[in-house]
Structure 1
């Protein structure tokens, strides 16, 4: 299941792999190892950054940066859309824990990263009690974004397959910068910027879900490519 772990680690970044054999920087763990989880965590630490750089020969795209495209925030009081959204920082993730329950076909990956989201934005409506509108560039810096991914997997024709997953997250801080608020009105823009950053937790409860869910989806997608390319027997020894 080492491979599984590796793959899941891919969810956030795992080691690169050739189409037919494990690369020298990726050493498979043993399913019979009583310290399997610790072994997998070590593999993720060693190869995670390499994985986030992408593996072209396997069709695995880079995860740092990861391009999210258009992200809509679904809020009746606020129309907010991010365009050409790019997230950086996943390559510097820290693995907190990996747990594999092989007999049950499930695993959990827990990691933390500092990430930055940049995009063009179009916003109009109300944030809490404050009317807001603007169209320009947005930058959101998230400190210690902790994401936990729990997934179910199964084996088909000698390869692992992610059957389902769910994620949860929390963060220590978020800082916002929006250019051209209120068509560049400095007084209104400064007031709004202070308000948004003072109430970042409430604001992120609206902004974060669609963006972070998309980050997780992209990571899982690249991990699935790894599972498809590399047999489970090469990823996890008996």
Structure 2
């Protein structure tokens, strides 16, 4: 058991590129193409997961409860499944150690969210209330994550990157389908105008509601990424200037 534990620790610290299937090359910070390629490799394993590193797969993402406590509307999503992040591609990634800054952009062909919902309030201009099954299908999600990073010292004396906090800018490019059952306790004469409004004003509706759902998904990705970054020393990723 001791030998196995020592081997696992050794593997995680010293051979991330080969042991975990990462194709990491040393980059200059200003080489956005190289930094993006490394970030794509890290992202792919962040999504896939690795039981040796206690990284759970991030597609699908399951969450028991997501609370949207917004200014004019409140909703709760339960037994929620989020899928589609494994199909996302990085358009670019850039970082600066001096400025403790990391930014990367994802373009996701489709993000789907489904589960159970409960909602009450105003959907921009219309009252809305209901409880039932839901499914959201967003087409071409453009997501930019701005993160503050830090370097931490490992037990091996090497420096590693870690994400401290982040914020998200996101836009849906090609529309979103809203499917909510049992709005207004099944009263179609009340439900249909709300669904029609959501379909016709999908960009504004998405902006109003997406924050809590996006935050849950990106938190999972960052959690996985931080576990993975513990296996790749900075001097294996970046060329000192």
Paired residue for 2:5?
none
Moved more, 226-235 or 52-61: 226-235
C-alpha distance in 1 between matches for 2:146 and 2:121: 35
| TM-score normalized with structure 2 length | 0.80
Return the index of the structure with the highest Cα Rg: 2
Where structure 1 has 5 or more consecutive residues not aligned to the other structure, the ranges are 1-17
Q: CA deviation at 1:33?
A: 7.9
Q: Deviations over 1:155-187 (max 9, x none)?
A: 221222223322211111222100112222334
Q: CA deviation at 1:134?
A: 1.5
Q: Could you tell me which residue of structure 2 aligns to residue 152 of structure 1?
A: 148
Per-residue deviation at 1:147? Answer: 1.3
1:169 aligns with 2:170: yes
Q: Measure, in 2, the Cα distance between the counterparts of 1:79 and 1:185.
A: 20
Change (3 A) 1:219 1:186: same
2:223 counterpart residue number: 221
Cα distance, 1:117 vs structure 2? 0.9
For residue 54 of structure 1, the aligned residue among 46, 49, 55 is 49
Residue 77 of structure 1 corresponds to 72
The question of 1:105 aligning with 2:100 is answered yes
Give the length in aligned residue pairs: 220
1:72 offset after TM fit, Å? Answer: 1.6
CA distance in 2, matches of 1:46, 1:174: 29
Whole-angstrom distance in 2 between the partners of 1:126 and 1:163: 35
Contact between 1:73 and 1:79, CA under 8 Å: does it hold in 2?
Answer: yes
Larger RCO (alpha carbons 8 Å, 6+ apart):
1
Q: 1:130 to 1:58 in 2, by over 3 A?
A: same
How far off is 1:148 after superposition?
A: 1.1
Unaligned runs of 5+ in 2: 1-10
Contact 2:141 2:170 in 1 (8 A): yes
Q: Is the 8 A contact 1:151 1:163 kept in 2?
A: yes
The TM-score with structure 1 as length reference comes to: 0.81
Match of 1:130 in 2: 126
Distance 1:32 1:200 in 2: 41
| CA RMSD of superposed structures (Å) | 2.3
